[in-house]
Amino acid sequence: SAVISQKPSRDICQRGTSLTIQCQVDSQVTMMFWYRQQPGQSLTLIATANQGSEATYESGFVIDKFPISRPNLTFSTLTVSNMSPEDSSIYLCSVATGNSNQPQHFGDGTRLSIL
């Protein structure tokens, strides 16, 4: 499966600031996704990162808060904007190759704490 690298692996940020998380894959992938995992919780899909077009956001998530870029088939970024303590979570990138039935593989996540 593809090797997925996320940066940073963790960060501590001040409220009101923004942080951009990078996801780099070692091979071209069809689909890239961003998930949030709040402390002690399961994974919730934030959005599908579409190459060359605007991301598709899930209910409860908006572009102004979580802008996403995907300039090519191996890279995507997620920005967490105007952060508050409620944004303290693990943010995970996942990828799927081939068609939509291919299983998703995850990066190790970015552990974000907001003070």
Partner 1 sequence: GQQLNQSPQSMFIQEGEDVSMNCTSSSIFNTWLWYKQDPGEGPVLLIALYKAGELTSNGRLTAQFGITRKDSFLNISASIPSDVGIYFCAGQTTDSWGKLQFGAGTQVVVTP
Least gap, CB of 109 to partner 1 (angstroms): 5
Cβ partners under 8 Å of residue 100, min gap 6: 31
Site string for partner 1, 56-95 (x = CB under 8 A): --x---------------------------------x-x-
**CA distance to 16, 53, 88, per residue, from 43 (Å):** 24, 24, 14
Residue selected from 31, 55, 80, 114 as contacting partner 1 according to rule CB under 8 A: 31
CA distance 17 to 55: 22
Please say which residue, 27 or 82, places its beta carbon nearer to partner 1: 27
Least gap, CB of 107 to partner 1 (angstroms): 5
For 26, counting Cβ atoms within 10 Å of its Cβ (0-12 exposed, 13-18 middle, 19+ buried), the class is exposed
Binding site for partner 1 (CB under 8 A): 1, 4, 31, 33, 41-45, 48, 58, 92, 94, 96, 100-109, 111
